[in-house]
Amino acid sequence: MNTLADFPAEAQLKPQIARRRTFAIISHPDAGKTTLTEKLLLFGGAIHLAGEVAARGERRRTRSDWMEIEKKRGISVSSSVMMFERNGIVFNLLDTPGHEDFSEDTYRTLTAVDSAVMVVDAAKGIEAQTLKLFEVCRLRDIPIITFINKVDREGMDPFELMDQIADKLALELSPVTWPIGMGGQFHGVYNLNTHDWHKLAGDGSTKFGTTERLTGLDDPKLDAAVKPDVLAEFRGQAELVAEAMPKVDMEAYREGHLSPVFFGSALRDFCVADLLDGLSAWAPPPRPQPAGDVAVDPNRDEVSALIFKVQANMDPNHRDRIAFARICSGRFSRGMKLNQVGTGKSLAVTAPIFFLAEERELAEEAWAGDIIGIPNHGALRVGDTLAEKGDLRFTGLPRFAPEILRRVRLGDPMKTKQMRRALQDLSEEGLAQVFRTHLGGDHIVGVVGALQLDVMASRVEAEYKVKIEFEPAPFATARWLAGDPKLVKAFVDVNKSVVADDVDGDPVYLARNAWELNYTREKNPDIRFVEIKEMH
Ligand code: G4P
């Protein structure tokens, strides 16, 4: 039998792209994102043994031991990408940092996905960070599948959870799997569509055992195994779901009005495979990517890609960087020459990388929807468009005006050069923003959340051997200056003490407080003080 790979590339384009699912998992810390990620990889055949609970702390440390701060805080701050294939579907799973201080990085990662899985802790329901990330997804029209995790433990009543999610997120819900009891009464999970009953192992634990396909909710096999009161409650709930809640409607889901819901347990392996089946069946294949007024069709012949993340110093012994590029259209093949739009430079991509679960592989070919890593020495920036032809530029990757500004103080003045290099590298990576004041040449670091400052200082020390500290800056807020270049220049010339350049050399106005910002704005009506800068 011929496989897709036997056909010429032109004939493969559409089917190859159609079988790709590029998605992220969003959740509040501790809901189970790490566990679910591992299990998706395990069920997707990408790894053979997911880290057991005891081993996981160790594995987590290994995975990110280049980043001291992760060890100290026990949080994951860097996004990564994992690719795997299951039943003919190619999944690209993008990991998002869990901590709220990294919202900007998360935001950028979410520009590179077509759908998301939202993990909710069954005992806690919708938490603050889930809500925030959900809002970002809604803003970007990213459809969501909900995974209600930890049903092996005592949790909220399933209907109470449904009501809460539906209310807080203004979303219709369509349950696909439903727990038979929870916590002490847990008897597995039932798939309302397939009538698969995922049963317990039977060894007194809450581990997954086998799956059995039943004839329906009234199958006597349930009566033989489940306590009558638990079963009666489950049957009542399942009937109510069938009567009162909508079936999965793919269009409503893809438009973001409805979320299919899976109750399950990542740790105990319940419904991870069902979730993968749901993603395969319903999640959208690569969607058109916005580039100004047009949307670039993924099935275009010409290759185009968007750099949504840059990771510096993945290997501390080399100053190399990896740029993460989402292929937005066409078929990419290794060695291809791509233009870095806007710079006039062309780049031969000779060593592109696929990120498989625990290893990397040279990417010989990639299709729209795939994420490749491009090693480089700093030429590629977040927001860059790479294109085989033409000068289209992808849009929608923002940089936010920082909410915290700090002046950098260097311990050892002999290390100025290294410090500049470090600040430049890490700001190009998008970790924080660095501004250089016109008068005095001070380095001002701007962040959205305070934890970014710690990460910055710790990485500068670990990766560049430079100790820096942050001291209060006399500024509270920053705005990019836009408008007629002549007027902007005139403003810059007379306001040197409160103007700095960002990493791209674009001028930024620094205000001591909100009042001053408003005052300056009123005095300069022809200049725009921009809060969100579109990266280019
Ligand atoms: P996160 O990435 O979203 O922060 O969550 P993570 O997967 O690390 O899970 C948080 C905690 O919840 C972990 O326990 C994990 O074992 C537990 N957990 C995840 N899924 C399930 C589930 O389906 N059922 C139950 N009962 N627990 C689950 P921990 O004790 O904080 O971590 P560890 O010390 O065991 O690694």
Residue 120 included in any domain:
yes
Band (pLDDT 50/70/90 cuts) for residue 1 is low
Range among 40-54, 301-315, 386-400, 510-524 with highest mean pLDDT value = 510-524
Q: Say what the pLDDT of residue 77 is.
A: 37
For ligand 1, whether the C-beta of 118 sits within 6 Å is: no
Q: Between 250 and 426, where is the model more confident?
A: 250
User: Ligand 1: does its nearest atom lie under 6 Å from the Cβ of 207?
Assistant: no
Residues 381 and 425 in one domain: no
Q: Is residue 186 part of a domain?
A: yes
- Does position 187 have pLDDT exceeding 60, yes or no? yes
Same domain flag for 447 and 494 = yes
Separation of CA 30 and ligand 1 centre (Å) = 6
Residue 43 included in any domain: yes
CB neighbours (10 Å) of residue 343?
13
pLDDT at position 490 is: 96
Q: pLDDT at position 54, please?
A: 34
Give the range among 68-77, 79-88, 237-246, 366-375 with minimum mean pLDDT. 68-77
Say if residue 250 is in the same domain as residue 110.
Answer: yes
Point out which residues pair with 94 in neighbouring strands.
Answer: 24, 81
Last residue of a domain, one of 366, 387, 408: 387
d(CA 278, CA 145): 8
* Cα angle value 523/529/533 (rounded, 5°): 175
State in Å: Cα 196 to ligand 1 middle: 25
The answer to whether 447 and 453 are in contact (CB under 8 A) is: yes
Residues sharing a CB contact under 8 Å with residue 281, sequence separation 6 or more, in sequence order: none
Ligand 1 near 148 CB (within 6 A): no
465 in a known ligand binding site: no
Do the domain assignments include residue 4? no
27 among the known binding-site residues? yes
Do the domain assignments include residue 5?
no
- For 17-71, the pLDDT digits (tens) are 999 999 999 999 899 998 999 899 888 877 654 343 334 444 443 343 334 444 4
Asked if 272 and 295 sit in the same domain, the reply is: no
Residue 526 burial (CB < 10 Å; 0-12/13-18/19+)? exposed
Structural contact between residues 448 and 402, judged by C-beta atoms closer than 8 angstroms: yes
Q: Ligand 1 within 6 A of 99 CB? A: no
Residue 151 in marked binding region: yes
pLDDT interval class at 379 (50, 70, 90): confident
Q: In the structure, what pLDDT confidence band is assigned to residue 103 with cuts at 50, 70 and 90?
A: low
Residue 313 has pLDDT above 90, yes or no: no
Residue 455 CB-half CA count within 13 A = 28
Sign of CA dihedral 300, 301, 307, 308: positive
63 in helix, strand or coil? helix
Cα radius of gyration (the chain): 25
Alpha-carbon distance 262 to 272, whole Å? 9
Q: Is 183 in the pocket of ligand 1 (CB under 6 A)?
A: no
What's residue 331's pLDDT? Answer: 96
- Residue 318 marked ligand-binding: no
Structural domain boundaries enclosing 498:
398-534
Is 124 annotated in a binding site? The answer is no
The response to whether residue 153 sits with its C-beta less than 6 Å from ligand 1 reads yes
Choice between 401 and 231, residue whose per-residue pLDDT is larger? 231
Helices 128-139 and 103-110: crossing angle in degrees, nearest 10, is: 40
Question: Does 403 lie in the same domain as 301?
Answer: no
Q: Which atom of ligand 1 is nearest to the CA of 53?
A: 35
Judgement on whether residues 275 and 293 belong to the same structural domain of the protein:
no
204-223 pLDDT, tens per residue? Answer: 888 999 999 999 999 999 99
CATH number at residue 106: 3.40.50.300
> Within this chain, do residues 77 and 179 fall inside the same structural domain, yes or no?
yes
CA–CA–CA angle 73, 75, 77 (5° rounding) = 115
Final residue before a domain boundary, out of 282, 315, 340: 282
Longest dimension (CA), the chain: 84
158 CB near ligand 1 (under 6 Å): no
The whole-angstrom separation of Cα 66 and Cα 71 is 9
pLDDT given for residue 369 in this prediction: 97
Q: pLDDT band for position 289 (50/70/90)? A: very high
Going by CA atoms, what residue is nearest to atom 6 of ligand 1?
32
Asked, for residue 496, whether it belongs to a domain, the answer is yes
| CATH number of the domain residue 450 falls in | 3.30.70.3280
Count of structural domains within the chain:
3
Same domain for 441 and 369, yes or no, is no
Task: Answer for the pair 92, 81: CB distance below 8 angstroms, yes or no.
Answer: yes
pLDDT for 108 equals 84
Q: Kindly tell me if the per-residue pLDDT of 259 is higher than 50.
A: yes
320 and 217 share one domain: no
> Do 422 and 505 share a structural domain?
yes
pLDDT of residue 422: 92
325 & 258 share domain: no
30 carries a ligand binding annotation: yes
> Which residue, among 411, 361, 458, 327, has the nearest Cα to 82 in the 3D structure?
361
Q: Is 412 annotated as a binding residue?
A: no
**Candidates 35, 36, 42, 154: which one to mutate for ligand 1, based on the most atoms within 8 Å of Cβ?**
35
The answer on pLDDT for 396 being more than 90 is no
Q: Is the CB of 73 inside a 6 Å radius of any atom of ligand 1?
A: no
Q: Which atom of ligand 1 is nearest to the CA of 270?
A: 23
Q: What angle do CA 25, 27, 32 make, to 5 degrees?
A: 85
Residue 495 lies in a domain: yes
- Report yes or no on 248 lying in a domain: yes
pLDDT at 95 over 90: no
Q: Answer yes or no: is 188 a known binding residue.
A: no
Secondary structure of residue 359 in the 3-state scheme: coil
186 Cα: distance to centroid of ligand 1 (angstroms): 18
267: confidence class by pLDDT, cuts 50, 70, 90: very high
Site to substitute for ligand 1 among 30, 59, 265, most atoms within 8 A of C-beta: 30
8 A C-beta contact, residue 386 and residue 340: yes
Residue 382 has pLDDT above 90, yes or no: no
Q: Mean pLDDT lowest for which of 108-117, 376-385, 433-442, 468-477?
A: 376-385
CA–centroid distance, 75 to ligand 1, in Å, is: 13
Confidence tier at 97 by pLDDT (50, 70, 90): low
130 lines ligand 1 (CB under 6 A): no
Same domain, 226 and 337: no
Question: Where does a domain end: 363, 387, 411?
Answer: 387
Q: Quote the mean pLDDT of the chain.
A: 88
CA of 263 to the centre of ligand 1 (A): 16
> Ligand 1 centre from 220 Cα, in Å?
34
Residue 132 has pLDDT above 60, yes or no: yes
- Binding residue per annotation — 88? no
Q: Is 96 annotated as a binding residue?
A: yes
Answer with the residue of higher pLDDT: 99 or 467.
Answer: 467
Residue of 501, 447, 443 lying closest to 476 (CA atoms): 447
Residues 6 or more apart whose Cβ sits within 8 Å of residue 3 = none
pLDDT digits (tens, 9 = 90+) for 331-363: 999 999 999 998 889 999 999 988 876 677 889
Q: For residue 263, is pLDDT > 50?
A: yes
Pocket perturbation via mutation, ligand 1, pick of 117, 118, 267 by most ligand atoms within 8 A of CB: 267
Ligand 1 and 533: CB distance under 6 A: no
